[in-house]
Structure 1
Amino acid sequence: MSISIDKVTYAAGSTLIVNGVTITVETGKVLGLLGPNGSGKSSLLRLICRLRRVRSGVIRVDEDDISELSRASLAQRVALVEQQSSTDTQLTVRDVVQLGRTPHRGRLFSWAAEDDAAVNDALERVDMQGRENQLWQTLSGGERQRVHIARALAQRPSELLLDEPTNHLDIQHQLEILSLVSKLGMTCIIAMHDLNLAAMFCDSLAVLQKGEVVAGGTTEEVLTKELIGRVFGVRAHIERSSVHGRYSIQYAMG
């Protein structure tokens, strides 16, 4: 397994945020991490990056316990794309993507051809190579998310974590961003709210409620009317296309 989370618990003060979570993600697959607000999705992503400290349990990347890796070593392997990021500094697209090379460069190391190659490749993979000199502030929301993903890809990670990457985007940009991520061929965990988009782009799903995993598996196994009603508090009508096999979920208040 590429990412293995084994009985992980995390608390903020006396409040239990993540409670005994066990999840595995196969190499090269996309896991959709679902759940209501406050269910622990963002906290779990930050635990994998070691931006939060695990109270108990073990998180492994491949066979390595992340607690035994240096921060630089972990950052070279795992990249996080957070929900929103803004700056008043006059940065170009290329400036932002170059920040992804930070884990690979110590204080005494100058910029190298390898760094340029990683940045160029990242820009190309998100189709922003012709916009590298454009100012960050002039980009649309969807374009900014592409640049965020390019920054993460410039780290040359083997695992990519995304926290609500389509939040505040219109449906066209939501589809573009998730299609881009699904085609990267990387191990990904995407925290998200939209069940239809999760069913469309994720290989497997895990549902959190109050910090615990209450369901995990394929879309067909997880997204049932019973689970949606119990976890999200809405009635759901689920259809599956006989042509492409995709799910369509419609909601009504309980």
Structure 2
Amino acid sequence: MTIRLDAVRWSASGRVIVDGVTLDVAPGSTLGLVGPNGSGKSSLLRLVCRLRRVASGVVTLDGTDVAALPRLAVARRVALVEQQAGTEAQLNVRQVVALGRTPHLGALAPWTTADAEAVETALDQVGMAERRDQPWHTLSGGERQRVQIARALAQEPRELLLDEPTNHLDIRHQLEILGLVRRLPATVMVALHDLNLAAMFCDTLAVLQAGRIVAAGPPEAVLDEELIRSVFGVRARVGRSPHHGRPQVEYLVDV
């Protein structure tokens, strides 16, 4: 397994946020983390890339404890796209994306053609190439999100972690970005709110509630009406999409 979490536990301010989570993420697959706000999805991603230190248990990359790896080694292979990533610096779009190359540059290493090509490829992938010279602070929330995803892609990660990457994006860009992520030659963990997007684009799902995994497996094995009611507190009908054959959730609400 590329990414493995074994009985991982983490607390903050005396409250358990991640409570004994065990997960395996197969190489090259996309794992979706779903669950209500406060269920531990974001914290779990930060534990994987060592922005948080586990209280107990272990996170491994290719069998090596992430805590034993040099920070630079982790940065070179794992990219994280956060919900509210930003910068106050006066940078343009290309310069923000170029920050993704930082882990690959030594103290005296010059900027190379390969670095420039990685940046341009990432801009093309998210549809922001024509905005490369636009100042960062003039972008909309959705455009900033696409640029931050490009920054992660420019890093050329083996493992890509995304925390609600579809926030601020319109429907077309939600589908385009998640389609792109699914096609990448990387192992992906992505936290999502939208169960239909999770079912459509993820190979497996892990459902979190109060820091614990209550269900895990392929979307068709995980998403059922009782689970959605008990975890999310809403009534729903789960069928199959006539377009892609994956589970499709219809929420039952009075209007």
1:69 aligns with 2:69: yes
Range with bigger deviation, 219-228 or 181-190 = 181-190
Range with bigger deviation, 114-123 or 43-52 = 114-123
Partner SS for 2:59: strand
1:217 aligns with 2:185: no
Name structure 1 gaps, 5 residues minimum.
Answer: none
Q: Distance in 2 between matches of 1:186 and 1:142?
A: 23
Partner AA of 1:66 in structure 2: V
TM-score, length-scaled by structure 1: 0.93
Partner SS for 2:252: strand
Contact 1:142–1:177, Cα closer than 8 Å, also in 2: no
User: What is the aligned partner in structure 2 of residue 123 from structure 1?
Assistant: 123
Partner AA of 1:144 in structure 2: R
Deviation string, structure 1 residues 189-214 (Cα, Å, up to 9, x no partner): 11011101101111110001000000
Q: Distance in 1 between matches of 2:226 and 2:88?
A: 46
Deviation at 1:171, TM superposition (A): 2.1
Range with bigger deviation, 223-232 or 117-126 = 117-126
User: What is the aligned partner in structure 1 of residue 197 from structure 2?
Assistant: 197
Q: Distance in 2 between matches of 1:106 and 1:243?
A: 48
Name structure 2 gaps, 5 residues minimum.
Answer: none
Deviation at 1:132, TM superposition (A): 1.6
TM-score, length-scaled by structure 2: 0.93
Runs of 4+ in 1 over 6 A off after TM superposition: none
Range with bigger deviation, 80-89 or 63-72 = 80-89
Q: Distance in 1 between matches of 2:89 and 2:13?
A: 35
RMSD: 1.8
Partner SS for 1:234: coil
Counting only pairs closer than 5 Å after superposition, residues 34-73 of structure 1 correspond to structure 2 as 34-73=34-73
Deviation string, structure 1 residues 142-182 (Cα, Å, up to 9, x no partner): 33222111111221210000000111323222222212211
Q: Distance in 1 between matches of 2:65 and 2:88?
A: 37
Q: Distance in 2 between matches of 1:9 and 1:253?
A: 36
Q: 1:179 to 1:141 in 2, by over 3 A?
A: farther
Q: Distance in 1 between matches of 2:141 and 2:180?
A: 15
Q: Distance in 1 between matches of 2:26 and 2:47?
A: 18
Partner SS for 2:151: helix
Deviation at 1:242, TM superposition (A): 4.6
Percentage identity across aligned positions?
Answer: 61
